[in-house]
Amino acid sequence: MQARILQDGTESFNVSVHEATRNSPVVLFAVGAGGQPERYATLMDTLIESGCMIIAPHFDKLVSPIPREDELTLRARRLSLALDAFVKPGITAAGVGHSIGAATLIALAGAQMWLGPGRRVDNITSDSRLTRLSLLATPTDFFQAPGALDAVKVPILAWVGSADNITPPVQTKRLANSIRDWQTVDVRVTDGAGHFSFMDIVPPQTTEPLPDKRAFLKEYSGEICKFVLG
């Protein structure tokens, strides 16, 4: 993938881009707290091999397990700015995201994000170019307020590991149960997988619970490609 630099007001940020053929499916990739797309090499390579165009903004690492409102709005804004820069008007995209990146994509798909009672995140503008979402290990406590998910109208593939103690499966299942009445949600729970099992390069001091992580990386990446290609 090629490294590009975009402007966000007076600041610049990096975007990894793989450009494919004119009519290739577009994937907007939203990274987790670490902020670096290359840490998901198997997924990126599989999407490229499937003929997808990939747009993957880089972000500074989040130092707190609970992000600030300005950090969330910055990530959402730069995801949309990256689409503006590399995708022609009228072209749609599939959003693929891990952890906080997945939650940000849900907000871009129209959900109301909350940091707690009376603390709605007000400055995220929904992006109608997102027509489907693939969500990995998603923190969904942001969307517990009544009606927070009512505007999400796109198909979703949501994947989580049974051994994820950061965003346990109950969070993903809660998301699915909240929107299944009006939208298709496919929930996958991989036995023994953890929060970082979706990453090739994991945070330091992380212990991998899966006995064959390489097989899992290939499995979930292939299924995401099938979902994106629709």
Q: pTM higher than 0.75 for the full model?
A: yes
pLDDT value, residue 4: 96
pLDDT value, residue 140: 96
Report the pLDDT averaged over residues 216-228: 97
Give the tens place of pLDDT for each residue, 47-67: 999 999 999 999 999 988 889
Taking the domains of the chain in order of start, what are their residue ranges?
Answer: 2-229
pLDDT value, residue 123: 92
pLDDT value, residue 180: 85
Give the tens place of pLDDT for each residue, 65-119: 889 999 999 999 999 999 999 999 999 999 999 999 999 999 999 999 999 999 9
Give the tens place of pLDDT for each residue, 129-166: 999 999 999 999 999 999 999 999 999 999 999 999 99
pLDDT value, residue 65: 84
pLDDT value, residue 91: 93
Report the pLDDT averaged over residues 7-34: 94
**Is CATH 3.40.50.1820 what the domain over 2-229 is classified as, yes or no?**
yes
Q: Is the pLDDT of residue 21 over 80?
A: no
In which band, very low, low, confident or very high, does the pLDDT at 174 lie, cut at 50, 70 and 90?
very high
pLDDT value, residue 109: 98
Report the pLDDT averaged over residues 13-38: 94
Dihedral (C-alpha) 58, 219, 135, 41: value to the nearest 10 degrees? 0
